[in-house]
Amino acid sequence: KDLVPLKTAYQNDFLIGNAISAEDLEGVRLELLGMHHNVATAGNAMKPDGLQPTKGNFTFTAADAMVDKVRAEGMQMHGHVLVWHQQSPAWMNTTTDAQGNSAPLSREEALVNLRTHIQTVMEHFGNKVISWDVVNEAMNDNPGNPADWQGSLRQAPWKTAIGADYVEQAFLAAREVLDRHPEWDIKLYYNDYNEDNQNKAQAIYNMVKALNDKYALTHPGKKLIDGVGMQAHYNVNTNPENVRLSLEKFISLGVEVSITELDIQAGSNYQLSEKLANAQGYLYAQLMQIFKDHADHIARVTFWGLDDGTSWRSSSNPLLFDKNLQAKSAYYGVINPA
């Protein structure tokens, strides 16, 4: 209707995205999506359990329909996600012994599964995506010693089977695909949450720096990791100054940054007081101002869902539109950065 489209408000700054499911690609939801956004992320459809539920059985039909529809509607697509400790089938890195206990696969077997998944999926979607979250959420929530970034990695099943270098191995496998297709323009991202925590931001910084520095020794002037994704799952008590510090830390790596899953919890039990609604709107405004101030280094700002009714954190009202798709203070905060 008469609302300023988000993508118009930020057309000189960065892409504006949203997380989608198939239901968002029809009717009024598609209207709202297309009016405000120029890029989409599959909320679930491109996760490992969706694309390769059993070994060698790649199931692309649903994701293909989504990607093709998004592109037909004039939006771009971001790829989420190749390597993660959730929504990933156990067979990729874990086996069951004769007693029925689960045990990690050997490093060699797990590496084959890691590389095969990454490379098959990337070759399949090809240049239809602008970027991939190659590795998601590898770091512990609040690393005690960020200088020891390997020791700060969460004990994900991939890490148990392969070792701390699974992150590097994943990016090397993804980079090989791009090297085979120099005509593709795709950015490889490391993506994580709690990234406003300065210990965690520092551990991520140290990891990306170490992996990119090592890669540059054999590939002068080239990067292994192109971008850092800040999920930005915040709440009304998040301190925007910490977001700024983390953003500037990641930018100082010389990589691009994207805000990949932005939402701000406010209230609970599906209740949102006017006071909290305004606090939420103000925090959105403060964050968008910080992002605008660094727009030269930010490729994309993606919200994690269209409306409070379908949000993954629905009971805490985190998005710009309410369950009736009406604009909240949060929308006006995003449109009026402060």
261 is a catalytic site residue: yes
Q: Which 122-161 positions form the footprint of ligand XIL (CB under 6 A)?
A: 136
Q: Contacts with ligand XIL in 256-315 (CB under 6 A)? A: 261, 312
Site string for ligand XIL, 72-111 (x = CB under 6 A): ----------------------------------------
Bridging pattern class, strands 102-104 and 94-96 = antiparallel
Give the CB-nearest residue to ligand XIL: 312
Q: How wide is the angle at C-alpha 300 spanned by C-alphas 255 and 244, nearest 5°?
A: 65
Q: By CB under 6 A, tell whether 227 contacts ligand XIL.
A: no
Is the CB of 78 or the CB of 285 nearer to ligand XIL?
A: 78
Q: Which of residues 20-49 bind ligand XIL (CB under 6 A)?
A: 43-44
CB of 217 to ligand XIL, least distance (A): 31
Distance in Å, CB of 327 to ligand XIL, minimum: 22
Q: How far is the CB of 133 from ligand XIL (least distance, A)?
A: 7
Q: Select 18 or 136, whichever has its Cβ closest to ligand XIL.
A: 136
- Six-digit token pair at 163? 């070792």
For ligand XIL, the closer of residues 206 and 231 by Cβ is 231
The active-site residue out of 108, 123, 261, 274 is: 261
Asked if 231 interacts with ligand XIL (CB under 6 A), we say yes
Contacts with ligand XIL by CB under 6 A: the residue count is 6
| Nearer to ligand XIL among residue 49 and residue 165 (C-beta) | 49
Compute the distance between CA of residue 39 and CA of residue 74 in angstroms, rounded to an integer.
9
Which residue ranges make up the site for ligand XIL (CB under 6 A)? 43-44, 136, 231, 261, 312
**Which of the residues are catalytic?**
261
